[in-house]
A and B are shown apart, each in its own frame.
Chain A
Amino acid sequence: MSHSKGRVIIAKPGLDGHDRGAKIIARALRDGGYEVIYTGLRQTPEMVAEAALHEDADAVGLSILSGAHMALVPRVLELLSEQGQAGLPVLLGGIIPDDDVPALKQQGVFAVFGPGTNTAEILKAFGSAVEARRAAT
């Protein structure tokens, strides 16, 4: 066990306190063999980006249920890019209206997951995100 399948940040930016989803995803990723850096609730985009830098993450998963995703996610992407992690895959889950998805993807979000998504599907997306990242670096 000298390598891991991938190092993944799971963070909850913004002010909503509903972390059940983030914890389920963190657990599923752990069971899928990933090292999950779980940062907890009420993270600012700056805190998420700093964690991604310190931990040399292979992917970042954000869980947002507050409706603030159109403000928070672009800010995270911008900070990652500023610190030289422009290609780092960012995956988003939560209450995200379908109408927002194209704009988010266009800004560089790797994948967006709504309520009720199967964890197997999410795990698969993280798998391709980590693979893409490792191929690029």
Chain B
Amino acid sequence: MTLAEQVLAGDRLALARLLTLVENDDAQGLTALDELYPHTGTAHLIGLTGGTGTGKSTLVNQLARYVRSEGIRNTDGGQSPVRVAVVAVDPTSPFTGGAILGDRIRMRDLAGDAGVFIRSMATRGALGGLANRTRPVVQTLDAAGFDWILIETVGAGQSEVEVARMAHTTIVVEAPGLGDEVQAIKAGILETADLLVLNKADLPGAERAAAALRTSLRLGSPDPMGEGTGWTVPILMTVATDGAGVAELVESLCQHRQYLAASGEWERRVRLRVEREVRDLLQRDLLARLLDRQADGRFDQILGQVEARQLSPRAAVDLLMRQAGS
């Protein structure tokens, strides 16, 4: 059996191994992923992003625990069981290349459940709140048959919006006391929210924070992303430490999925993501190929000329393109 076949057969050790290969851009892993790709596309990819310490990991724990015990509402009005995968990203040290991946600490309630698979990832130098290889890791889990894939970003600041380009549904998690109304109207992370969660809603100031978020959403156009119409971003209050509000959050996630399907937005987003992924890969490979074609030392020599202000960066690129014969 190939590695891909083992993964499709539900072998968790093979899945874990393949995730490592894919994360390391290993040729064997990428071949397996090619084989698995036709089996992807069914999972609901749910991104969770927001500032450090807003409670993303704890919320992931509660969400997964809730849907594992209750299932989710299906289109017939019944409840369907869900298998849940979690991809939790933490930052790599820019100095040593090491990382502490600590998101499992908050997900201990999920231990021992064979329907849950938690994988930690280090950013390995990527910005934007995810690792460069988060996308293929998510695709592998999708092919492995998980119905929900929760993608948790590093404690993101204001512009770590990468997850919104990967997930079907993006949850932005906020907490009281982290910012004023001006923070709430800045561009960036808030605009990417399909669902807005105010966690730690038992803390003082929660109502005021919710009001600020509500005002900010109302100030925005009803369709800030220019991505279809008909979805009003709900603001949900949760207390992830005791599970308050989690049932409502799950209900909102189901509603969002239905909205995506009914409005054609699901296909539109998938189309955008496919195009983006192919463009990204093409860009990477073209760059590698182009640099490959340069005579030895030529690239460094041109960089030197730019450094010495003899060539502008733009002119240097023209030169490199011409020499690559393209």
Contacts and interface: CB of A to CB of B under 8 A. Distances in A.
Pick the most buried of A1, A7, A26, A83: most chain B CB atoms within 10 A of its CB. Answer: A1
B16 A4 contact: no
Nearest to B92: A1
A30 B97 CA distance: 8
Contacts of B13: 53, 83-85
A3 B25 CA distance: 8
Nearest to A52: B16
A32 B93 CA distance: 10
Interface in B86-112: 92-93, 96-102, 104-105, 108, 111-112
Q: How large is the interface on A (under 10, 10 to 19, 20 to 34, 35 or more residues)?
A: 20 to 34
A5 to B, nearest CB: 7
B96 A35 contact: no
Contacts of A55: 16, 119-120
Given A38-B105, A55-B119, A46 B125 contact: no
A53 B14 CA distance: 10
Contact of B100 (A26, A33, A51, A84): A26
B279 interface: no
A36 B119 CA distance: 12
A5 B97 contact: yes
Pick the most buried of B12, B102, B120: most chain A CB atoms within 10 A of its CB. Answer: B120
B24 A54 contact: no
A56 B17 CA distance: 6
A57 to B, nearest CB: 9
A30 B98 contact: yes
Pick the most buried of B97, B118, B124, B125: most chain A CB atoms within 10 A of its CB. Answer: B97
A47 B111 contact: yes
B120 A4 contact: no
Contacts of A47: 108, 111-112
Interface residues of B, number: 31
B217 interface: no
Contacts of A2: 24-25, 124, 132-133
Contacts of B102: 38, 40
B213 interface: no
Contacts of A1: 92, 97, 124-125
Nearest to A39: B104
B64 to A, nearest CB: 13
Interface string A16-37: 0000000000110111111111
Contacts of A43: 108
B122 interface: yes
Contacts of B159: none
Contact of A38 (B92, B101, B111, B124): B101
Interface string B20-37: 100011000000000000
Nearest to A29: B98
A50 interface: yes
B117 interface: yes
A84 B6 CA distance: 14
A85 B101 CA distance: 21
B19 interface: yes
A32 B105 contact: no
Given A40-B104, A55-B120, 15 more contacts: A1-B92, A2-B132, A30-B98, A32-B98, A33-B97, A34-B99, A35-B98, A35-B99, A37-B101, A38-B102, A44-B111, A47-B108, A51-B104, A53-B12, A53-B13
Interface of A: 1-5, 7, 26-27, 29-40, 43-44, 46-47, 50-51, 53-56, 83-85
18 contacts: A1-B125, A4-B122, A5-B97, A30-B96, A30-B98, A31-B98, A35-B98, A35-B101, A37-B101, A38-B101, A38-B105, A40-B104, A40-B105, A46-B111, A50-B111, A54-B12, A54-B118, A56-B17
Top 4 A-B pairs, shortest CB-CB distance: A40-B105, A30-B98, A56-B16, A1-B125
